[in-house]
Amino acid sequence: MALCSCSFPAIVSCCAAASEPQKSTPFASHLLGGSDLGFHPLLKLNQVKKRPCGVYASLSEGAEYYSSRPATPLLDTINYPIHMKNLSVKELKQLADELRSDVIFNVSKTGGHLGSSLGVVELTVALHYVFNAPRDKILWDVGHQSYPHKILTGRRDKMHTMRQTNGLAGFTKRAESEYDCFGTGHSSTTISAGLGMAVGRDLKGERNNVVAVIGDGAMTAGQAYEAMNNAGYLDSDMIVILNDNKQVSLPTANLDGPVPPVGALSSALSRLQSNRPLRELREVAKGVTKQIGGPMHELAAKVDEYARGMISGSGSTLFEELGLYYIGPVDGHNIDDLVSILKEVKTTKTTGPVLIHVVTEKGRGYPYAERADDKYHGVVKFDPATGKQFKGSSVTQSYTTYFAEALIAEAEADKNIVAIHAAMGGGTGLNLFLRRFPQRCFDVGIAEQHAVTFAAGLACEGLKPFCAIYSSFMQRAYDQVVHDVDLQKLPVRFAMDRAGLVGADGPTHCGAFDVTFMACLPNMVVMAPSDEAELFHMVATAAAIDDRPSCFRYPRGNGIGVQLPPGNKGVPLEIGKGRVLIEGERVALLGYGSAVQSCLAAASLLESHGLQLTVADARFCKPLDHSLIRELAKSHEVLITVEEGSIGGFGSHVAQFLALDGLLDGKVKWRPVVLPDRYIDHGSPADQLAEAGLTPSHIAATVFNVLGQKREALGIMSSRN
Amino acid sequence: MMRCGYGLVALPGTDARLFSPEPSFLRLPRTVHPVRIKFGSFKIRAKIGEARKEVSFYDMLGISEKGTLPEIKQAYKQLARKYHPDVSPPDRVEEYTERFIRVQEAYETLSDPRRKALYDKDLALGLHLAFSARRRYQFDEDLEDQSEWRNRWQSQLSELKRRNMSRDAGGNMSWGARMRRQREELSKQV
């Protein structure tokens, strides 16, 4: 076709479509399918191939784009960022498109974080084009958007192992590659780390660049401000890229639709984006500056700064006040703009800290992600052509859902119950609670410290706050738990999801330490359910404990299938009382939390060897069931405590009690089974348990070892599959 | 209504991808003068306006204003087959293509009941403001937003460069400035 699309806006679609997948439909069938303009991506009119203008369609046409690996001729030539240096900007755009399709293809095969990665494809390409990693440091906050970064930095051939045992980590990890300069997983850490790297570079007298990419959600955490404040003060050269996609909490939608961003900061940022500065006043200010100019640089600079502050809207002054030079907003999907800005900033000698406000769209480039309420933030394997995820079906629901249902049932009965979470409405299940009680559910943004003290304040007023924070994220709020809650004995209830090993997310999200750091607090009641029915009862118990703080932990995963209490309403347990599940002799397994299930499995393994074990569920780590422990210690030869937590937790408390009670002076042998003293890498839950030594086979082997039957112990270990 | 990343509002029923700022015809030359850019977009708006002045969509498709959807579809198919650039006589490609686009636009508007309603309303008021022209107006506005953004950060960048001339002057005692001076001195010595 001789005509270039240039002068006719209606064919804009085909240039835009260059970045979308197309099918080569013959001309006639397009007409027949013409009514389907509201959008099946496969039915776009394929005019681009014949047009000389715009971006050459780099994706293969047809359904093959989706079901098999997309053709990526340019991306195939890039193994490391250095291979990108000779590309033109047009080729960079093509590279971005190919990179995007590669990300979609890879995530469809392995599952993972899709939306965030799609939003930063252009930014990643621009960063690696302009900067020279690994000498220049590029830090990715949280790290879940680093898939394009990993593809471009030598790990493309391993992308099929993403989040699997011995495969690539789902977040950046220093041990994995020199291009990952800082390990992330929890949010809001990159400005701090980046500042540290910048200052280190200055002390050593070097000249590389430091770039920290952080999202608007992560900006709701205090650490980001602590870091910016310090950066402004130290005035060291570094670049902070604020990746603003208006998705401040996770998931990016609740059950009923997209979630409006939480907090005042978001509205400031959106004012920034939409602000139309008073250009005339700006020009006047410039004119004034020019007149003053000449030798009076500093005065002119001051005038200009005031003028900027007056005019550029209330948002940018926030960053300016902290001492960062604000540039933006910038279209984050326009590689031209990104490259020119980054080049300018890079070549400017003494910038101090600079903040570039980049506006992106989460899930960009994949129609299903763009349209979905949650923007396909985290997905399991899916079919790229239809966007349908292959979610496994299960008889039971997740502990998260059970917790939410239990809390709803309690809140129906007691109007003082309120729930608090830190930007994790979906992950904690509190979206369900929000739907039922919109006024009683509080999302504070990524601010765990604030969440805990906020809950303490609520407790002061006689309300019953339930703080649902992941075990691993509770680490961020530890001082608030100690000082604001436990010290004052305020009845705040902590529901710690994702306790123990968590599978694909890896050690950054692993809840190994919560028993240790909660049970050592003098006033805290610490308990753990062994199955979902127990979870319901413990929620009720926590609701009933009104004179001191309490906490309970439950793992990632689905319930085991026991009968739930009627009406989802649990019955409060007697505090400090465990239960015996199986009566046996000689050897007692005392489990805490989900480890009880492993104990039961170990007991059935050993039954075939002629051993009848006693299995007990401690339920409470604090206060311990002293009579149960005394009973077990006195009537058994061996007592093994099992928990999915680190040293210093349940087992240590039991040992302390045994020692103080004189029970260790007798004949009983006590052994702990805990998580080993190292971080367990990401992988499937079964692999992780095996790596940690907490499978039923391991427990059974421990029993044999203590009884002196080494041969049988080896037999059990070698026969497990 | 989901707001897309760079500030182009996706009107329901349309696809956000139509609003790509990439199309080369609207790739305004990078200029520091806001005035010139505004002029450019006025020119385009004018061109669109005049191109749309005469014929209403119904006339173009050759149907009455009471036309039903199948009628509209049929008329569109006929005309599209006639005017499609691939089958147009080589000496009249330009004209035919222009017609084809208008026909396509007419079909797009009239086949979507919501857009048809809007269009009919405009027509009743005597305004032949094609939905796409309306959309394009919006598009232009959004594009102006885009160029405004571009101007803003361009001026921010130039200020950054300017103020760095004086930044590490003797007076600036920040830690970073001191380290930078130290580094410069060391490199001069080498």
Q: Which string of DSSP letters, residue by residue, matches A328-342?
A: EEEETT-HHHHHHHH
Report the distance separating Cα A488 and Cα A474, nearest Å.
19
CA angle, residues B96, B101, B106, in degrees to nearest 5: 125
Residue A45 has pLDDT above 50, yes or no: no
- Per the prediction, chain A carries an average pLDDT of 85
What is this structure's pTM? 0.74
* Residue with token string 């590309």: A87
d(CA A316, CA A337): 19
User: Predicted ipTM?
Assistant: 0.70
A63 touches B at CB < 8 Å: no
Contact (CB, 8 A) for A243 and A360: yes
- Tokens linked to A463: 């309300």
Q: For position A313, what pLDDT does the model report?
A: 47
* End-to-end C-alpha distance for chain A, whole angstroms: 63
DSSP A113-160: E-HHHHHTHHHHHHHHHHS-TTTSEEEESSSTT-HHHHIIIIIGGGGG
Spatial distance between the Cα atoms of A495 and A452, rounded to a whole number of angstroms? 12
Query: Which tokens in the block code for residue A315?
Result: 């948002």
Secondary structure of residue A369 in the 3-state scheme: helix
Interface test with B, best of A43, A242, A322, A337 (most B CBs within 10 A): A337
8-state DSSP, B9: B
Taking 80 as the threshold, does the pLDDT of residue A21 lie above it? Answer: no
Q: Are A120 and A150 in contact (CB under 8 A)?
A: no
Indicate the residue of B84, B98, B146 with minimum beta-carbon distance to A331.
B146
Looking at residue B136, what is its pLDDT? 55
- Closest Cβ–Cβ partner in B21, B149, B174 for A235: B174
Taking an 8 Å cut-off on Cβ atoms, the answer to whether B157 and A333 are in contact is: no
Confidence of residue A30 (pLDDT cuts 50, 70, 90): very low
pLDDT of residue A196: 97
Q: How many CA atoms lie within 13 A of A687 on its CB side?
A: 13
pLDDT of residue B76: 84
- Please tell me whether residue B144 adopts helix, strand or coil conformation: helix
Q: What is the pLDDT of residue A31?
A: 38
Using the structure block, give the residue that is written with the tokens 């050592």: A520
A12 and B CB contact within 8 Å: yes
| The pLDDT of residue A298 | 53
Catalytic residues of A, by residue number, are 362, 448, 476
**Cβ contact (<8 Å) for B5 and A360?**
yes
Min Cα distance A51 → chain B (Å) is: 12
Q: What is the pLDDT of residues A86-126, one digit of tens each?
A: 999 999 999 999 999 999 999 999 999 999 999 999 999 99
Lowest-pLDDT choice from A138-152, A317-331, A385-399, B120-134: B120-134
A–B: how many Cβ contacts below 8 A?
191
Least confident of A443-452, A647-656, B71-80: B71-80
In this prediction, residue A261 has a pLDDT band, given cuts at 50, 70 and 90, of low
- Lowest mean pLDDT segment, chosen from A43-52, A167-176, A364-373, A601-610: A43-52
DSSP 8-state secondary structure symbol assigned to residue A258: E
Q: Tell me how far apart the alpha carbons of residues B35 and B41 are, in angstroms, rounded to a whole number.
A: 10
pLDDT at B126: 60
C-beta atoms of A334 and B6 within 8 A: yes
pLDDT of residue B130: 53
pLDDT category at A266 given cuts 50, 70, 90 is low
Lowest mean pLDDT among A50-64, A395-409, A548-562: A50-64
Can you give the pLDDT at residue B32? 39
Predicted local confidence at residue A301, as pLDDT: 53
- A126-133 average pLDDT score: 96
For residue A305, pLDDT beyond 80: no
Q: How large is the average pLDDT for residues B39-49?
A: 47
Span B90-109, pLDDT tens digits:
788 778 877 887 787 788 77
d(CA A676, CA A355): 42
What pLDDT is recorded for position B168?
67
Give Cβ neighbours of residue B138 (< 8 Å, ≥ 6 apart).
B9, B11
Query: What value, to the nearest 5°, has the Cα angle with vertex A205 and ends A202 and A207?
Result: 80
Chain B residue with CA closest to A200: the answer is B179
> Cα(A527)–Cα(A519) distance, rounded to whole angstroms?
9
Kindly tell me if the per-residue pLDDT of A710 is higher than 70: yes
A119–chain B Cβ distance below 8 A for any pair: yes
Mean pLDDT computed over A695-700: 96
Q: Which of A5, A7, A324 to mutate to test the interface with B (most CBs of B within 10 A)?
A: A7
B162-170: long-range contacts at Cβ-Cβ below 8 A with a sequence spacing of 24 or more?
A: B162/A301, B163/A301, B163/A304, B164/A348, B164/A349, B164/A350, B164/A351, B165/A297, B166/A297, B166/A298, B166/A301, B167/A350, B167/A352, B168/A350, B169/A297, B169/A298
**Alpha carbon of B58: minimum distance to chain A alpha carbons (Å):** 17
Among the residues of chain B, which ranges form H helices? Answer: 34-51, 57-61, 69-83, 93-111, 113-124, 131-167, 175-189
Mutation pick from A12, A197, A346 vs chain B, by most beta carbons of B within 10 Å, is: A12
Residue with more model confidence, A389 or B65: A389
Give pLDDT tens digits for A226-255: 999 999 999 999 999 999 987 765 554 555
pLDDT value of position A338: 95
φ/ψ of residue A448, rounded to 5: -65, -40
Distance between A497 CA and the closest CA of chain B, angstroms: 32
Tell me how far apart the alpha carbons of residues A474 and A512 are, in angstroms, rounded to a whole number.
11
* Contact flag A39-B15 (C-beta cutoff 8 Å): yes
Question: Which residues from chain A sit within 8 angstroms of residue B108, using beta carbons?
Answer: 37
Query: What local confidence, expressed as pLDDT, does residue A202 receive?
Result: 94
pLDDT at residue B112 greater than cutoff 80: no
Residue B16 has pLDDT above 80, yes or no: no
Yes or no, beta carbons of B98 and A328 under 8 Å apart:
no
- Nearest residue in chain B measured CA to CA from A276: B148
DSSP A562: P
Q: How many Å apart are CA B29 and CA B35, to the nearest integer?
A: 13
**HSE toward the beta carbon, residue A299, CA cutoff 13 A:** 9
Q: So what's the pLDDT on residue A276?
A: 44
Contact B176 A234 (CB under 8 A): yes
Task: Give the model's pLDDT for residue A86.
Answer: 93
Residue whose C-alpha is closest to residue A538's, from A549, A524, A527, A523? A527
* pLDDT score of A514 more than 70: yes
Subunit contact A202:B2, Cβ cutoff 8 A? no
- Between residues A351 and A516, which one has the greater pLDDT? A516
Residue type, A547: D
CB nearest A364 (choices: B5, B161, B171): B5
CA distance B91 to chain A (A): 11
